[in-house]
Amino acid sequence: MNDFYKGYSLFLDQAAGPVRQRVAELHTAVIDLSARLQKGDIEPAWLPKHTFIVLSQIQGHTAALLEDLAFDEAPDEGDITAMENSLDSMIDTYSEIKELINSAMDNFRRSNLTVIHGGRDSEQLWRMIQINISGLDVWRRAVISHECTIEELHKLIQAGMGWKGVFRFRFYSETPDGGKEYLHDKIKLGDIDFRGKKELIYEYGTKWIVNVIIMSSYQPAKNETAHFIAGESAAPPEHIDGPRHFKKLIAYFETGVNTEKQLAQRELGADFSGNFDLESANRTLLAVLQAERNKE
């Protein structure tokens, strides 16, 4: 960088600089995603067709663009426009393949979970559950009693995601014919006849869908209360305009230029860090549970 800046002129680079920044960010994102997939967290057969071919093509094109942008004399306006158009097309392709990959990983994760079929005859009193926001790599794992009501499950999700309950919510399960069976707020988890269903769906407002996966049975310790045991990534603030916009803000937050980072921080909130705080989520959940007991 020291050698580079000896002959660097911000004035001469004002047209190409932002393009180079975006190209470098896309190249980095492609490499990170490819490395993540090659760790073996998902069977390749579950991935969209030609996943690695598409990622390899984008990586090759972005690398070539970076070489074109390593110039002694600035490209003319026509060349810059052509580069921007090519970059926009690659970003669209990357966004589409990443969305397909995330969907495939969600399906793969669900297919590999042990699902316990509930119902009134179930002798197990506690369940481990996993909740994840559709379209995002944001998930939480918790243990709860089968005496937990749908309304209490809503409050657990709110605590785990750091939401404040400003929107309406509803739960449903999918019926064998592809329909939706909506659940009353007071029904208990242990009273739901899952009949082979693997999950509940939680609709929160019009922007957020949360999958609630019922996992293995759990033997609680004496006087144990519902709590989170694991999680990943900070949840989007509930006012954000859906998963796609949140992912854009995260990209700005993590790798954007200063103005983009400032914009993301304003929308995400001054306290947003991008990480899941397990202890904070459990403190919030405990306070909610205590407030409920005080009402009783």
Task: Give the tens place of pLDDT for each residue, 60-80.
Answer: 999 999 888 887 677 788 888
Residue 35: what pLDDT? 85
Closest among 137, 139, 228, 210 to 170, alpha carbons compared: 210
| Residue 58 pLDDT exceeds 80 | yes
Q: What percent of the chain has pLDDT over 70?
A: 87
Q: Give the mean model confidence (pLDDT) for residues 224-239.
A: 92
H helix or E strand, kind and range, residue 27 = helix 17-37
Residue 117: what pLDDT? 42
**Using one digit for the tens of pLDDT, what is the confidence trace for 149-169?**
999 999 999 999 999 999 999
- How far apart CA 33 and CA 26 sit, in angstroms, is 11
What confidence category does residue 111 fall into, taking pLDDT thresholds of 50, 70 and 90?
A: low
Residue 210: what pLDDT? 96
What confidence category does residue 110 fall into, taking pLDDT thresholds of 50, 70 and 90?
A: low
- The most distant pair of C-alpha atoms in the chain lies apart, rounded to whole Å, by 77
Of residues 93 and 192, more confidence is placed in 93
- How far apart CA 81 and CA 59 sit, in angstroms, is 20
| Residue 198 pLDDT exceeds 50 | yes
The burial of 84, by beta-carbon neighbours within 10 Å (0-12 exposed, 13-18 middle, 19 or more buried), is given as middle
Beta bridge partners of 276: none
What are the two backbone dihedrals, phi and then psi, of residue 39, each rounded to the nearest 5 degrees? -70, -15
Of residues 188 and 115, more confidence is placed in 188
The token pair at 56 is 């390899």
- How far apart CA 132 and CA 289 sit, in angstroms, is 21
**Using one digit for the tens of pLDDT, what is the confidence trace for 18-56?**
888 899 999 999 998 888 887 766 667 777 878 888 999
What confidence category does residue 115 fall into, taking pLDDT thresholds of 50, 70 and 90?
A: very low
**Statement: the pTM of the whole predicted model exceeds 0.85:** no
| Residue 207 pLDDT exceeds 90 | yes
The token pair at 174 is 């999918």
What are the two backbone dihedrals, phi and then psi, of residue 78, each rounded to the nearest 5 degrees? -65, -40
